[in-house]
Structure 1
Amino acid sequence: MHWPVDPHLYFTFLGVMAVMAITPGPANLFAVATGVAKGRAAALAGMVGMNTATLVWFGAAALGLGALVKAFPEAFRLIAIGGALYVAWLGLKAWRGAFRTAQEPETPAIRRGRSAIVDGFMVQIANPKAILFFTAVLPPFLDVNRPVVAQLALFAVAVIALDALSMSAYGLAGAALSRRMARPGFRRVFGLIVGGLLITAAILIVARL
């Protein structure tokens, strides 16, 4: 059976996405803050809003990246190399943060008078992590010799599933997880593990080019 995505490449993508999904960022911090401020139902609603925004990003990627792959395959390879370097930079950044006393990451504000779905959508549609994912992280995993839209569909399934699990876990954990992330020792170990996984992922990306 011919799959639209190379299985080895897809499992590598799952590993990268799993690390990115669990890493604290605007989306996961928003989930925590929503869970603390509004409860479990609102945290899950915010997760729906954020993943709706992710689908919008995938729609844009299907239009723009598909044209880029067909018109400029060599330029696409350079983008892939840039994406691998970006993933490695994220790993080094995680290691650097693990060995210094970091301030509490800024948590997106929660507006009680608005729907958590709307707030979640707005957080993710403007999330720098999401923007960089679609411009730097995703391109290395697309095969120029396979249908781009079919590949993006499978990648979207993985991203939505992993993000939904991570965002829900952060939101439902709420205050308990927030207290753990406030502990320097916990953040240090977390940063070392995340950094190692991201740098390994960057090496795997380059090895596939």
Structure 2
Amino acid sequence: MASLPVDPHLYLTFLGVMTVMAVTPGPANLFSVANGVQRGKAAAMAGVVGMNAATLVWFGAAALGLGALVIAFPQVFRLISIGGALYVAWLGINALRGAFRNASDPDAPAIRMGRSAIVDGFMVQIANPKAVLFFTAVLPPFMDVTRPAAPQLALFALATIGMDVLAMSAYGLGGAALARRMSEPRFRKGFALLTGILLLAAAVLIVSRL
């Protein structure tokens, strides 16, 4: 058993924990819904790519000793999270402004987010305090110091990203399914308001975890 990259029992437990974390509504999943409603299926999946690219960055940081960096420079990570929260809040405010500004124009798009769903998704996840908590508090107990760290991190990354892709895609495609009715002015305005509220809620969640 010692020749295995990870302890099988620990890995199964990790999968259970990760499943719960992945499906729980948080900044990433709320963004997925808003992104899917506003931009459709393709952009919803692009947002998933952006968020999981940020997760890979976090895993890279973990491999370089993220826990030690957080302890040494806590304010840096706090500032990153605050910046991310402000960015998400800005997207939400734009959505709310668009809902009222375009209410009288049936052909005008009611929601305006960033230019790139990938960039928006990356920004949401890179600033998510849930990610810092995951890599500093959740992941370390599952690491076995008697085994090489790199293979363990690779398998944990595979499980984490796999679960996140499934959950984020489900949330995003669920939102995109409702986008078919966006040609109806009243429905579009209502979902512009919902998008703004979801994004502002995501920003609040980010700040509340600081």
- Provide the TM-score with structure 2 as the length reference: 0.62
Give the AA of the match of 1:58. Answer: F
In the other structure, the counterpart of 2:137 is 136
In 2, the alpha carbon distance for the partners of 1:65 and 1:131 equals 9
In the other structure, the counterpart of 2:12 is 11
Q: CA offset at residue 112 of structure 1?
A: 3.0
Q: Does 1:24 align with 2:10?
A: no
Distance 1:108 1:143, change over 3 A: farther
In the other structure, the counterpart of 1:46 is 47
In the other structure, the counterpart of 2:173 is 172
Give the AA of the match of 1:133. Answer: F
Q: Percent identity?
A: 77
Distance 1:113 1:125, change over 3 A: closer
In 1, the alpha carbon distance for the partners of 2:67 and 2:25 equals 30
Q: CA offset at residue 8 of structure 1?
A: 0.5
Q: SS state of the match for residue 174, structure 1?
A: helix
Deviations 1:24-81 (A, max 9, x none): 000000000001111111110000000000000000001106989xxxxxxxxxxxxx
The within-5 A match list for 1:1-209 is 2-64=3-65, 109=92, 111-174=112-175
Number of positions where the alignment pairs a residue of Structure 1 with one of Structure 2? 140
Higher Rg of the two aligned structures: 2
In 2, the alpha carbon distance for the partners of 1:107 and 1:13 equals 35
Q: CA offset at residue 175 of structure 1?
A: 7.1
Q: SS state of the match for residue 5, structure 1?
A: coil
**Gaps spanning 5+ residues in structure 1: where?**
69-105, 178-209
Distance 1:133 1:66, change over 3 A: closer
Distance 1:13 1:4, change over 3 A: same
**Gaps spanning 5+ residues in structure 2: where?**
70-88, 96-111, 179-210
Give the AA of the match of 2:36. Answer: G
In 1, the alpha carbon distance for the partners of 2:67 and 2:7 equals 17
On the 8 A contact 1:54/1:124 being kept in 2, the answer is: yes
Q: SS state of the match for residue 65, structure 2?
A: helix
Instruction: Name the Cα RMSD after superposition.
Output: 2.5
On the 8 A contact 1:21/1:163 being kept in 2, the answer is: yes
Deviations 1:72-104 (A, max 9, x none): xxxxxxxxxxxxxxxxxxxxxxxxxxxxxxxxx
- Provide the TM-score with structure 1 as the length reference: 0.62
Deviations 1:153-194 (A, max 9, x none): 1000001110000000000011789xxxxxxxxxxxxxxxxx
Distance 1:64 1:33, change over 3 A: same
Runs of 4+ in 1 over 4 A off after TM superposition: 65-68
Give the AA of the match of 1:5. Answer: V
Q: SS state of the match for residue 164, structure 1?
A: helix
